[in-house]
Structure 1
């Protein structure tokens, strides 16, 4: 758990994309590697799952990959390097030689507790950028343009923050949320 402005939070998922510099035959990979699933009628990419580090990769014919499930940059690096090592000998063609593939973080998801209960009805009524439809989902959605983030807010003060590309933006969004939401703290704080 990390802490910012009195708010404890934990990164629960990082989504990253990379290009392995390989041309891939996804049918052959699914046939030869038990951890790879490929059903092109369902999805155009193959799916590779690892237990350690715990991650799932979407693999595409052009060598691009999307990595989900890692909680740290180090885990992403290890996962993408492991994937390159696994796929390189089976590639149709090597389009770019690399020892250590670069990756770009496209989304970070974190969970947090604001340390106060929230009156979601009043929040939805008073704050413009909030959507709340309790018949469909028990949480309210608060969207920030700056820092770019979307937060799922729950009555018990728990928050899921997504849409940021770095941890500083997550921290800024959580601080801003606490400041904006403080007047709407409910009596049922947990």
Structure 2
């Protein structure tokens, strides 16, 4: 059966993909299970030992320590992943029988389903494609994908958990000093753009690892487009010496006195 994707679905998946490249995909199938009654995505259970092990695992540490010489931390804030159920879905059936599911075809052509543990949101399209957002780690994004797949299976769709991919990881960091963004723009114009009238942050595009950094005067940094959480650490290790070069320094006491004296002299002349 040909997968006819409508334009809105293509836009959503493209936004989730962002800077997606060719990566290896995991092909794993879940055993289908017939269940009577209402499907609750927050209480989905698994018979597979591997899945049970993943559910009971302790939450990973979301902060990654950078090299000790920098003493800076990065934190994963959002992981976006996609899966393909390899079957077409009846969205009205899913919205009627699954809890925590919303479907308004006049507003959006996908079912919005929410999961409590791990706390994530899924956009489920009739083509069988699912976009998962809100996870705080790659492991939780994969686990949420398995749970959403199980919910669909309980509604008697021949769904399979296949082609899972991490499309985007967003994170934050703070170098704890102010930065001269104009200086970075002048010397690194090839890789960045900065228009303070439109947006207060400088947009810096790294090629290795391939991601985008939003750098603010305060020293706070937002990462977008990463494919692995380790890429956040690599980006900081690569960019920290550059940011340090453009660190704002506080004016010395002597320069403050000198400026005040000059201002006083100018007032007397006027």
TM-score bracket for the superposition, by shorter chain length: 0.7 to 0.9
One of 163, 170, 176 as aligned partner of 1:109: 170
User: Which structure: greater strand fraction?
Assistant: 1
| 2:217 is the alignment partner of 1:155 | yes
CA distance in 2, matches of 1:81, 1:56: 13
CA distance in 2, matches of 1:74, 1:166: 11
CA distance in 2, matches of 1:90, 1:11: 33
TM-score of the superposition, structure 1-length normalised? 0.87
| 2:234 is the alignment partner of 1:172 | yes
Deviation at 1:101, TM superposition (A): 4.7
CA distance in 2, matches of 1:140, 1:186: 15
Residues 120 and 135 in structure 2, CA contact (< 8 A), matched pair in contact too: yes
One of 179, 185, 191 as aligned partner of 1:124: 185
User: Which structure: greater helix fraction?
Assistant: 2
Deviation at 1:36, TM superposition (A): 1.5
Deviation at 1:139, TM superposition (A): 1.1
Aligned equivalent of 2:76: 11
Provide structure 1 residue ranges, at least 5 long, that are not aligned to the other structure.
Answer: none
Aligned equivalent of 1:36: 101
Number of aligned residue pairs: give it.
184
Q: Secondary structure at the match of 1:29?
A: helix
CA distance in 1, matches of 2:144, 2:209: 28
Let me know the Cα RMSD of the aligned residues: 1.9
Provide structure 2 residue ranges, at least 5 long, that are not aligned to the other structure.
Answer: 1-62, 251-270
Q: Name which one, 1 or 2, has greater alpha-carbon Rg.
A: 2
| 2:127 is the alignment partner of 1:62 | yes
Deviation at 1:102, TM superposition (A): 5.2
CA distance in 2, matches of 1:52, 1:135: 41
Residues 120 and 154 in structure 1, CA contact (< 8 A), matched pair in contact too: yes
Residues 81 and 101 in structure 1, CA contact (< 8 A), matched pair in contact too: no
Residues 80 and 101 in structure 1, CA contact (< 8 A), matched pair in contact too: no
Aligned equivalent of 1:78: 143
CA distance in 1, matches of 2:178, 2:143: 39
TM-score of the superposition, structure 2-length normalised? 0.63
CA distance in 1, matches of 2:163, 2:187: 44
Deviation at 1:28, TM superposition (A): 2.1
